Chain A
């Protein structure tokens, strides 16, 4: 089966600009996650969707980050306006109603 697809793989923007990342989970996976991985650190969960509803967004900086999951399939993570500290890899993952997560290759954001 196809894996978790993410795009773009790389993005460079100036601070205060906006950026959007897209994720297409594995077919049939109801749960979708966005993680932020800052260089040298472990990933941190930003938001978790169950179908198209939000289960957990407690660590999402809601003043600048937003995410949606259209029709319970694809998801978009947006940052507006970006700050220098948002430079990171944004990982998308999906899972069935269970525990094993499958990760995409991530989108690397550099904010100058």
Chain B
């Protein structure tokens, strides 16, 4: 079974600075997807960024970028120029690429990010 581990229960950053959230995963599959989701206090999970395992290039979405190390099974999220609105719980998630399991996301335990003004 796949597992996703986020070893940082909490992180904090000053506004406008950069922070990196860590994630490792374990799988025997070669084709899969990785995601970072943001969950603010309103509880609605919002997709931040995704990475296809077959792509070597790291995904980037505006201030959000990932460092995907397939051999090391590591998938970290870097938030640049942090804003107060970035404060939330962040979840790393894994999904196998095959079959009908489009939604069978396996989530990590989450990292609470605090942004200080």
Partner of A42, one of B33, B44, B95, B107: B107
Count of interface residues, chain A, beta-carbon cutoff 8 Å: 27
State how many angstroms separate the Cβ of B44 from the closest Cβ of chain A.
Answer: 5
Q: How far, in Å, is A37 (CB) from chain B's closest CB?
A: 8
Partner of B43, one of A50, A55, A100, A105: A105
Known: A42-B91, A106-B43. A99 touches B102 (CB 8 A): yes
Known: A56-B104, A93-B103. Is A41-B44 also a contact (CB below 8 A)? no
Instruction: Provide the residues of chain B in CB contact with A104, threshold 8 Å.
Output: 44
Chain B interface, DSSP helix/strand/loop, else mixed: loop
A43 to B102, CA, bound (A): 15
Residues of the A chain whose Cβ atoms lie less than 8 Å from the Cβ of B110: 40-42
- Given contact pairs A89-B43, A100-B47, A42 touches B109 in the complex (Cβ within 8 A): yes
Is there a chain B Cβ closer than 8 Å to A91's Cβ? yes
Q: Which residues of A contact B (CB under 8 A)?
A: 3, 31, 33, 40-45, 48, 50, 55-56, 89, 91, 93, 95, 97-101, 103-106, 108
* B interface list, Cβ under 8 A from A: 4, 33, 42-47, 50, 91, 93, 95, 100-105, 107-110
